[in-house]
Amino acid sequence: MVLKWEPVLKDVISEILETMFFAMVEFQDCGRGDRCFDYESEIELQNHEGRIAISLQLSEGFARMITAGFLGIEENQVKDEDLRDSVKELVNMIGGGYHARINDAAWKLGIPRVWKIGSDPTHRAQAAVRLDFSFFEEPAGSAALSYLAG
């Protein structure tokens, strides 16, 4: 599978955030950002040759805002459990959207995971190109795609 992932992931993330989370983000040029965020979520796609991990990091403020938009509640009503679950659902939709663009039946979508980033972030993007995005000029998060062996 040869696919330039950055523009595809940009399209997928924009569509999902606008349609279901009511947020429009702006993407920065791809690079190795050194900023770490507060929440990380990840989903894998796999086939018989290997795996792709799509990973997403979000700031707490942005995660809280999109959770409120998703659930149709005020930000101060967002519980930690809702926030984690909504971020997990976001990466689930991103994985599904990316899968749809690949259009290859051999790939299977995994189950998404989410966690709060501790002192030692495990963002796949630490070792890959990452796609940073902002919300009203405030850094909101970053996405990354990594090819994994086996």
Partner 1 sequence: MSYNVLIVDDSRSMRKVIWKILRLLRFELGECLEASNGQEALDILEGKWIDLILADVNMPVMDGVGFIRSLREKNICRDTPVVFVTTEANEDRLNQLMDLGASGYIRKPFRPEEMGAFLSRIMGETDGFKMGTSVEGCDF
Which parts of this chain interact with partner 1 (CB under 8 A)?
Answer: 15-16, 19-20, 67, 70-73, 81-82, 85-86, 88-89, 92-93, 95-97, 99-100, 102-103, 105, 107-111
Q: Which is nearer to partner 1, 1 or 102 (CB)?
A: 102
Q: Which is nearer to partner 1, 114 or 140 (CB)?
A: 114
- Closest to partner 1 by CB, 55 vs 86, is 86
CB of 126 to partner 1, least distance (A): 26
Strands 113-116 and 130-135: unpaired
Q: Are 131 and 144 in contact (CB under 8 A)?
A: yes
Q: How far is the CB of 109 from partner 1 (least distance, A)?
A: 6
| Ranges of H-type helices in the chain | 5-20, 60-71, 80-102
Q: d(Cα 119, Cα 121) in Å, to the nearest integer? A: 6
128 residue type, one letter: A
